[in-house]
Chain A
Amino acid sequence: MAVLLVYLLAPFVWMTVYSLYPSTALQTLTPDLDPRQLRLDSYVALLSDPTFLRPLANSAIVGIATTIICMVLGSACAYVLARFRFRGRQALLLSMLTVQAIPVIVLAVPLFILLRAFGVYDSLIGLIVTYSAFILPLVVWMLVGFFEEIPPSLERAAIIDGCNRMQIMVRIAVPLAAPGMAATAILAFITSWSDFFLAKVLTITDAITLPVRTASFQGLFAMDYTSAATAGVITAVPVLVLALLAQRWIIRGLVEGAVKG
């Protein structure tokens, strides 16, 4: 377990170290980790660089918008799938998994053509729509499991009290499934926040996101390790904070989403 923990944490620790020390101190067989060499220059430089702040803002906008869209549409869709039995229901759920199984690279060119045709290539709207299309099935799949966990008797009681379906969903189902919905929302945010490939091929200048900007620190002949590591830490921090805040929900959400649906 300890070995696994070290294996998982070592890259992040090393990335953090690289962001805090001058690269010349680390590019030797025995890195010089003298605390007197610690510095925050690269953080100050990146966080005051407009060419970094814009991708940072782009990622935040895309991540938040995608999460909101997926959660609003996904929860409505998932509630219907959880509560109603209709022809094609199971096929619909299975087909949602199919979307996840298609390699993204296969869809890159058609997506590029579609976005360009609609005039939203290299735009935040284009990215938000694309990510929503990819993440929504996952959100629905997970939320179906959470809604199915809610005892139907509670909803029957609400019907007797005069609630319609929308009221039942808003006043009973959503509050009871809130932990699962929070975990799902966090996963949706992380997925869109950290995507690299689609952002790389569907943007070029205006809508570049943080992972793409981070990759640009590596050139053909050179690599700015310190900036790349700093950008990596800045990219990872929101994900880590969200994951730590909601780790219990995430684990529960993943487990339930995996076996129910």
Chain B
Amino acid sequence: MVYSLSRRRALQLGATTAGTFALAGCVGANSTDSNTGAEDGPLAPGDSPSGEITILDDNTNQVFQDSTIAAFEAATGITVRTYTQGNFNDLHDRFATLFAAGDTSIDVVMTWAGWTAEFGQAGWLQELDSAAVPDDLIQPALDAVSWDGKVYGLPKFASVQTMFWNKNMMGEADLDPEAGPQNWDEFVEAAKAMTTEDRWGFACDVGNPAGAYQNFLRVLLLNGGDMYDDEFRPIFNSEHGVEALAKFAELLTVHGVMDPASLQTTNASDLGDQFARGSTGMVFNWPFQYAVATAAESQLDTESVGNGLIPGMSVRSASIDGSEGFAISKFSQNKDAALAWLQFAASAEVQREIVEREGWFPVSQTVLEDPQSREALPVLETYEESTQYATKRWGVPWSNELDQLLSVQISDVLNERTSAQDALDSAAQQTQELVDRYLG
């Protein structure tokens, strides 16, 4: 059958299509307006919050379901009607749909630096008043729930990368197993010394876009560089950035100390498992690495795992942040009760559980300095020391796109298809286009 598409039919078809889109748009807009219940201005603590709340979290923590909710309900009289855990990778689209629809069924959502920036800028997260923010929050954790000078939530745990090393391999390479490398040159020499036919001095996870971005940001900060200037112009292709990326790539291409499997390693958990198998000298990883490396099935134990600051290139040290938090939906109908949950999750009582049961870092300085916490999680000492140095994530509304474009360039550098300078210049140009698009 052959169709002839006359002008009249084309117009009919166009009108049908336009009508479909218009209807979709009208439904969304009207629904949002009628459901918001949004109040202007930052949210301060209410007098006596009550009622019910619903929480949509990711599946990083089990402590909330196991004990925090019951304790919260007992302490406040507020009922947690539902606490749902979703997969981190699905939550972004779910949240975007819920927010765009002005959904009032979810009060509290999990967030991290990138989503705080994206959804905060979109006006979908409730800004908090300074009176709602505890005084003793650690800055990188607070940064994870802040964007453009506004606080959109409270952190639920802190996560900062530190260096872990295999003391056995250090000793066998005639290195001091108790003292990790203090700077990048020492780090490279130690990695060389530990690399043998079947062992690697260093491994990382650059196999996916987020991992590639994190590995680059880390070396950028270690070399005293930064991602953006005060006006959000990309500056990561500066001399600091180019040198940092070049030195990072040299671990693989010149020194031969980076496990080539790092290019296929897509997440920190796999990296943690690899280190625990005992044939990798050093890794830079999140706090859970300690628990993985000292678990019963690991080839290592508390005596053979070393932990310290990540050695810097032009600065003593630096690190990247992966803290998560809770935020309140702008469309929540019970924001006071939702804020009570945020504050309870950030309280010392819950933070101690986070440290002792789950091995994450606390968001509270008070808990960080508590000797009991140090005893439960020895790597807290390194974490406290790391707070003296730059620790950033640079979560921005364009985080996902940045991860993608930067990972392509970093992959090209690691595979020696381009130079660090050309790769970062290209990435910076593309990033500037993203900044212009998002910030105007």
Contacts and interface: CB of A to CB of B under 8 A. Distances in A.
B415 to A, nearest CB: 15
A91 B268 contact: no
B58 A220 contact: yes
A150 to B, nearest CB: 14
B273 interface: yes
Contacts of B89: 215, 218-220
Contact of A223 (B12, B31, B270): B270
A216 B85 CA distance: 10
B266 A223 contact: yes
A151 interface: no
A28 B259 CA distance: 9
A205 B84 contact: yes
B59 A219 contact: yes
A260 B3 contact: no
Contacts of A204: 56, 84, 86, 94
B286 A201 contact: no
Contacts of A28: 261
A219 B94 contact: no
Interface stretch (A100-108, A171-179, A230-238): A100-108
Contacts of B87: 215-216, 218-219
A90 B89 CA distance: 42
Contact of A201 (B59, B97, B260): B97
Given A95-B16, A112-B101, A205-B84, A29 B260 contact: yes
* Size bracket of the B interface: 35 or more
B143 interface: no
Contact of A221 (B93, B100, B288): B288
A261 interface: yes
A24 interface: yes
Contact of A219 (B13, B60, B277): B60
A260 B322 CA distance: 55
A28 B268 CA distance: 15
A38 to B, nearest CB: 20
Contacts of A221: 60, 267-269, 286, 288, 322
A154 interface: no
B21 interface: yes
Nearest to B35: A113
B123 interface: no
Contacts of A215: 87, 89-90
B273 A219 contact: no
Contacts of B86: 204, 216
Given A24-B273, A27-B270, A93-B3, A113 B9 contact: no
Contacts of B59: 216, 219
Given A110-B28, A112-B97, A204-B84, A223 B267 contact: yes
Interface string A214-252: 011011111100000000000000000000000000000
A114 B267 CA distance: 37
Contact of B94 (A29, A114, A201, A222): A201
Contacts of A114: 27
Interface of A: 23-24, 27-29, 90-91, 93-95, 98, 102, 106-110, 112-114, 116, 145, 148, 197, 200-201, 204-205, 212, 215-216, 218-223, 260-261
Given A108-B97, A218-B89, 13 more contacts: A24-B273, A29-B261, A91-B12, A98-B17, A106-B24, A107-B24, A113-B27, A148-B1, A201-B97, A215-B87, A218-B87, A223-B269, A260-B1
The 4 closest A-B pairs by CB, nearest first: A222-B269, A216-B87, A220-B88, A110-B24
27 contacts: A24-B273, A27-B261, A27-B273, A29-B261, A90-B3, A93-B3, A94-B9, A95-B16, A98-B13, A98-B17, A109-B27, A113-B28, A113-B31, A145-B1, A197-B93, A200-B94, A215-B87, A216-B59, A216-B86, A218-B89, A220-B58, A220-B324, A221-B60, A221-B267, A221-B286, A222-B270, A223-B267
